[in-house]
Amino acid sequence: MKKRRTKKYRSTSGLIGTSGLMLHLTRLFVGFVFVFSGFVKAVDPKGTVYKIEDYLTAFGGFFDNLVILAYPAAITLILIELLIGLMLLFQVRFVLTSWLAFAFMLIMTPLTLYIALNNPVTDCGCFGDALVLTNWQTFSKNVVFLLMTIVLLIWQKRFNSVYLVVIEWVMVGLFAIAGIVFMIYNLNHEPILDFRPYKKGTNIIEAMKIPDGAPTDSTVVNFIYEKEGVRKTFELTSLPDSTWKFIDQQTKIVRKGYVPPIHDFVILTPDYNDVTQEILNYEGKTCLIIIPDLNETSEKGIEKISSQIKEIKQKSFRIFALTASPNDDIIPFKNKFDLDISFYKMDKITLKTMMRSTPGIIYLDNGTIKGKWHWQDYRVRERKD
């Protein structure tokens, strides 16, 4: 009678010596970066949605039709990164995970090369707003991580199972549930960690300043001329004679100068008069209701805020609404929700950066952000300031 063979599970990976230690460190490092990348996106899922929308819009053509998929694509991307990272860290289903990590990097590396070459967006968004990398830095990082996942793939058999199979799948399920619950919470509230330039405590005026001696953009101006059907590019110091016909002038930034944390904060009246400094320099308290698009905002949220406007005014707050919607939409919107406040205009991207909630509420005191609330979390009676 044959003895039934059972698979042995060991609490170690079977890796010994210097090579084993290096493989473990590689696993842990790759896993940590995947978790970090997924976590900072999960903190702010809407930021990832906006970034994917930016990519699809920049690609244009067929990709414009895929913008509607940005939301599920963002959630899927975040969950995949979290799962791969956690499974690597805890050494769960290692053979499967090593293949997933390799496949993920195999897709992302050539994609980021294309983005670096064509520069459709200036920030990859791979680490959300927590760590901003240039497109070439992102590609270089992905090349390194692709090589590291190849190492893990080649030596995957040297990582023995640590847990029973059923325990491993339970862990995968728990990882997925935790990631989804965490994202749902941050979608229904302002992100629990704010990596954006408009975080609580920021003085907007100070964040817009350029320090003395800060480097400025270094540019090169080229001039295109044509003669006898041939076009050539000339620098300012070597322009051709009058027999050449001027065609165009091109300015190229060869070295980017200092960019302040906040550089796109401009508030306009419906008549397009700039009131930015007036609002920021007001020596008192201001309540800003953020509504990037009047047609895409939560009606329940607007109704809730509308019911509390009188109480906000009683606290000696000036109160305004900021939107990027056209003027023709403002009056019907105010009438529909009985909003007795002034509406000012602002860039839509800036508004989405300031608040992920629509509508959302920001309190300013002498130009400093004293509070930010998702409309679901705002209770005027609980505000002591």
Paired strand residues for 219: 253
Paired strand residues for 364: 286, 369
Angle at 369 between CA 366 and CA 370, to 5 degrees: 95
Round to whole Å and give the CA distance between 117 and 171.
Answer: 40
Q: Which residues contact 66 (CB under 8 A, 6 or more apart)?
A: 56
Q: What was the pLDDT predicted at 60?
A: 80
Identity of residue 31: G
Classify 10 as helix, strand or coil.
coil
Q: What was the pLDDT predicted at 31?
A: 96
Both tokens of 374, joined, read: 């998702």
Residue closest to 247 by CA, chosen among 233, 258, 237, 257: 233
Round to whole Å and give the CA distance between 202 and 209.
Answer: 13
For residues 65 and 139, the answer to whether their CB atoms sit within 8 Å is: no
**Over its length of 385 residues, how does the chain's per-residue pLDDT go in tens digits?**
444 444 444 444 455 567 778 898 999 999 999 999 999 999 999 999 998 988 888 888 888 888 899 999 999 999 999 999 999 999 999 999 999 999 999 999 999 998 888 887 777 778 878 888 888 999 999 999 999 999 999 998 888 888 899 999 999 999 999 999 999 999 999 999 999 999 999 999 999 998 888 887 777 888 899 988 889 988 878 888 888 888 888 877 777 778 899 988 999 999 889 999 999 999 889 999 999 999 999 999 999 988 888 888 888 789 999 999 998 999 999 999 988 899 999 999 999 999 999 999 999 999 999 999 999 988 754 445 5
Both tokens of 108, joined, read: 């992302």
Paired strand residues for 233: 224
Question: What pTM was computed for the model?
Answer: 0.80
* Strand 318-323 relative to strand 285-291, pairing: parallel
- The sheet with strand 230-235 has its strands ordered as 230-235, 218-227, 245-255
For the chain, domain boundaries: 17-187, 218-255, 276-382
Identity of residue 252: K
Query: In CATH, what class is 276-382?
Result: alpha beta
Classify 349 as helix, strand or coil.
helix
